[in-house]
Amino acid sequence: MKQLFSDWRVLSVIAILGWGAWGILLKFALKQLDWRAALLVGSISALPLALALGIGPFTWRFDRYVLFAALAGIGALVAALAFNRAIQKGGSLNVVVPLTSQYVLVIVVFSIIFFNEPLTWKRIVGIAAAIAAIVFLSL
């Protein structure tokens, strides 16, 4: 089982399912909850799991990597705030989710710049197909 959860493909599917459940459950929650309350409840309920997963060979220190993690958390919070607000303002899930999925393009560009990941023709075609899929899902 441990080896199964070490496979990036399995972990990617878990992430897809988790984000999918998040979007659907959040839409239900935002029918009656204010977007700020939904974000707070979601964050507080996730904290015990985050703490449980974080306990281990971790020593608290402050360096640029901890700063990167903190900034990533802030970025995720800002994104979640904007997503919650977009849904509550009447955005349809089948439009807001594909549109906000454009964050992938930001990651692709910055991974090429900062991590020297190659931009091959296969990846260019894949990116174009992803953009086309997002456009069609948003129509």
pLDDT tens sequence across 61-98: 888 888 898 889 899 999 999 998 998 888 888 888 88
Percentage above 70 pLDDT, the chain: 95
User: pLDDT tens for residues 39-59?
Assistant: 899 889 988 888 887 766 667
- Position 92 scores a pLDDT of 84
- Position 56 scores a pLDDT of 67
- Position 41 scores a pLDDT of 92
Residue 130 token pair? 């992803």
How confident is the prediction for the chain on average, in pLDDT? 85
